[in-house]
A and B are shown apart, each in its own frame.
Chain A
Amino acid sequence: MAKKVALMQGNEACAQGALYAGCDFFAGYPITPSTEVAEVLSIELPKIGGKFIQMEDEIGATAALIGAALTGAKALDSTSGPGMSLKQELLGYACIAEIPCVIVNVQRGGPSTGMPTGPGQSDMQQAMWGTHGDHAAIVLTPASCQEIYEETVRAFNLAEKYRMPVQIQLDEICAHMRERVTLAEPGELEIINREKPSVSPADYKPYDATKGMVPPLATYGSGYRFHVTGLNKAADGFPTTKAELVDAEERRQIDKVMFNLADIQKNEEYLLDDAEVILFAYGSTSRSARYAVNELRKEGVKAGMFRPLTMWPFPDDRVAELSKQAKAIVCPEMNLGQMVREVQRVAQGRCTVAHIGRVDGEPINPGQIIDKVKEVL
């Protein structure tokens, strides 16, 4: 049988990916340019017995997300910059309480209300550092409708596997453009579900890491009673200020990500073997970068592209290697210099690192990238 294909927006592909992954709960508050994610799920979730809630605001939405996830739901929330700013407190709560959930940020212009219908990539550092305190973050940056579909499935898998919030950073361009998406058959893509406790309710400790870095998560309402708090806590979930316990917990919650980089990180490398100038690009901007690479190659310029699909944790090791190989790394981004800071940090002056920034609501076009490459070479 022919596979199901459909022309759909990036936002619709995100909703479809969530459904494939087993998402059965959505809480959110509508905001351009993310609203179609909610729109699709408001239609589809009731059909499969799932729940859709439009909350009173973005803060309430993430609170609902956390509550639902604790009852065993695979929960999704979508928003844009102004909403993401409001969610930061609850995002931190999901980090420390280790709540598996997925939050989509369709980036637009900013700060504040900014330009609601214009694209941006200016929440990239916020995705890592927006909520206070040391914590790990997993942030995915797909660039096509097909990829948004598949990466949304991966986001749920990572959230479930590592028991933590995962963010998908889209931008208005890839969220609103339409492309053909081939929908996966049941069983075709891997689906990971959180590990449930193997001990009895009496013996269950929600943060017991003696058997692994990711403690099993019991489901509220299934007979397991446990305490959830935003305070630093001991293995039993109750608050503690004991220095050695707090230190160990803080470190474990970061190490569970940093010790599993090979499983979490994902990049595309395009024509890098002999590349002298490397474009570091992501999201819709990477599509301009690919166009630029192809044009530059026609002119004999040895150009290539490194494209992270997992932006955080940042691909330090690979970018460090590339900084030894390349004469220059050029970072086009719809912001005034965010991920380029990470490239500079990792490159440590081994090659030229240049930035192309744009915040006028227009995409970075291939011509701008080509001009910059010629300038730095």
Chain B
Amino acid sequence: MAQRYEIRFSGAGGQGLITAGIILAEAASIVESKYAVQSQSYGPEARGGASKSEVIISDEPIDYPKATIVDACLAMTQVAADKYANGIKPGGVLLIDSDFVKNVPQGDFKVVQIPIMRTAKEDVGREIVANVVALGAMIALTDVVSREAGEKAVLAKVPEAFIDLNKKAYSIGFEKVKEALAQQ
């Protein structure tokens, strides 16, 4: 991967998508020693509103720190899908939360649908780890870092008491996408 690879996490403020971006950037730049830049944009409100976090990963130093046209995009809400799922590269990938994004963006990219929030709540047991489910899913979808590097970065970020919960969330997110891809 000499070329820059761009990933966008989008959804509602408070869903932990900036954290998901930070963990991915840590997996790439600290665990795998690649180059990564993570950035975000958000409005003045602390929760709600559309939120996005972008990560650029490359084998070479990264100049322009913002996403141009992304290789992969996650949209957790309809608002985010409408607002941020437009700039995806031809042949790119889009992951959506199928419970919340009913109007699926159309384009020359692959769409994978998973009920991310519901998976976090029912399969993992806590809605709060939806961002880690989404991160596992995005890593499975893009192969931009290894499964192990992603898990290592997740576990380095969470307090001792929540390691098992996050491990499970990451793993289920990862597996769900692999299953969805196998069915396509």
Contact = CB atoms under 8 A, between A and B. Distances in A.
Interface in B25-60: 25-26, 29-30, 35-44
Contact of A6 (B30, B37, B65): B30
Contact of A180 (B35, B40, B65, B66): B35
A303 to B, nearest CB: 13
Interface string A280-298: 0000100110110010000
A287 B64 contact: yes
11 contacts: A6-B30, A7-B25, A116-B44, A173-B66, A174-B65, A177-B38, A179-B37, A284-B65, A287-B63, A288-B64, A294-B63
B22 interface: yes
A173 B63 CA distance: 12
Interface in A37-60: none
A158 B22 CA distance: 33
Interface in A178-230: 178-180
Interface string A4-25: 0111000000000000000000
A7 B21 CA distance: 12
B64 A178 contact: no
B36 to A, nearest CB: 7
Given A365-B64, A366-B64, A180 B42 contact: no
B39 A177 contact: yes
B36 A7 contact: yes
Contacts of B25: 7, 178
A365 B68 contact: yes
Q: Which 4 A-B pairs have the closest CB atoms?
A: A180-B29, A290-B63, A178-B38, A177-B39
SS class, residues of chain A in contact with chain B: mixed
Contact of B39 (A116, A117, A176, A291): A176
Interface in A283-317: 284, 287-288, 290-291, 294
Contacts of A284: 65
Given A177-B38, A180-B36, A288 B63 contact: yes
A176 B18 CA distance: 12
Interface in B101-126: none
Interface in A230-288: 284, 287-288
B132 to A, nearest CB: 17
Interface of B: 22, 25-26, 29-30, 35-44, 62-66, 68
Contact of B44 (A5, A7, A117, A178): A117
A176 B44 contact: no
A67 interface: no
Nearest to B21: A178
Interface in A111-127: 116-117
B3 to A, nearest CB: 12
Contacts of A117: 41-44
A75 B78 CA distance: 48
B99 to A, nearest CB: 30
